[in-house]
């Protein structure tokens, strides 16, 4: 009973702040940020499992909340409304991480900094193995183009110094290689739980390492 009364007082307080913001006292939105910032961070962190992404997500959620404040219905919980925005934002971040951002992030050399916990370290090792295996399934030319363009960030004009083709032709080849790598990655991502698959990946990784090692 007491908990229910406290929740009602909290929601009434939120509604008062929201009304004030809607009426033009935009500085009152800061009180809502201070109230929910830590809660949202904990929520986003457990969805994303990365501190920096969680911090960025919280900022984006508050921005979206402010922009959509006119859509808020007063008889609902502002906290629940805010968490719903956070949930969908984090889902979009995860989709982007897996389907697009991973392409550039996961192929970069993995550093030792920023290890939050054992989960992060285990995940980095898993990703390193998968990215090595995925790269190994590309042709030598495709792998070279990915390394030059994605990892080293060279322009198509600079890449053209190694490959006697026009920048436009090289761009098309790089895009095709990225799409191929993305498909391979998604196949691996969906099949890494079985022990037989892990063993095969390890054996394949060793073979690829020998194949691409410099003479």
Looking at residue 124, what is its pLDDT?
A: 67
Question: How many C-beta atoms lie closer than 10 Å to residue 134's C-beta?
Answer: 25
Q: What is the pLDDT of residues 59-73, one digit of tens each?
A: 999 999 999 999 999
Q: Which of 97-101, 125-129, 162-166 has the highest mean pLDDT?
A: 162-166
Q: How far apart are the first and last CA of the chain?
A: 75
Strands (E), the chain: none
CATH C-level class of 2-103? mainly alpha
CA distance 142 to 177: 6
CATH C-level class of 118-212? mainly alpha
Residue 95 CB burial class (10 angstroms; 0-12, 13-18, ≥19): exposed
Q: What share of the chain is helix, strand, coil (3-state, %, to 5)?
A: 80, 0, 20
CA distance 37 to 49: 17
With a cut of 50, say whether residue 110 has pLDDT above it: no
Domain ranges of the chain: 2-103, 118-212
95 in Cβ contact with 189 (< 8 Å)? no
Q: What is the pLDDT of residues 125-152, one digit of tens each?
A: 676 677 777 777 887 678 778 867 876 6
What's the count of helices (H) and strands (E) in the chain, helices before strands?
10, 0
Average pLDDT over residues 177-192: 80
CA distance 113 to 122: 14
49 in Cβ contact with 119 (< 8 Å)? yes
Who's near 60: CB < 8 A, 6+ residues apart?
89
């Amino acid at each position: 009973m007491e908990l229910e009364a406290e929740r009602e007082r909290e929601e009434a307080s939120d509604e008062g702040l929201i009304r004030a913001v809607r009426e033009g006292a935009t500085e009152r939105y800061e009180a809502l940020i201070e109230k929910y910032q830590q809660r949202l961070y904990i929520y986003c962190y457990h969805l994303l499992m990365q501190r920096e992404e969680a911090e960025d997500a919280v900022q984006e959620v508050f921005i979206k909340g402010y922009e959509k404040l006119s859509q808020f219905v007063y008889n609902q919980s502002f906290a629940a409304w805010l968490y719903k925005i956070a949930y969908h934002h984090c889902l979009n971040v995860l989709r982007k991480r897996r389907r697009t951002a991973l392409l550039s992030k996961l192929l970069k050399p993995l550093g030792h900094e920023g290890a939050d916990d054992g989960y992060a370290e285990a995940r980095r090792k898993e990703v390193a193995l998968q990215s090595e295996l995925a790269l190994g399934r590309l042709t030598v030319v495709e792998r070279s183009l990915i390394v030059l363009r994605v990892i080293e960030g060279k322009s198509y004009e600079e890449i053209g110094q190694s490959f006697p083709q026009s920048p436009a032709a090289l761009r098309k080849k790089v895009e095709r290689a990225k799409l191929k790598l993305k498909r391979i990655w998604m196949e691996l991502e969906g099949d890494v739980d079985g022990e037989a698959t892990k063993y095969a990946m390890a054996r394949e990784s060793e073979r690829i390492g020998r194949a691409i090692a410099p003479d």
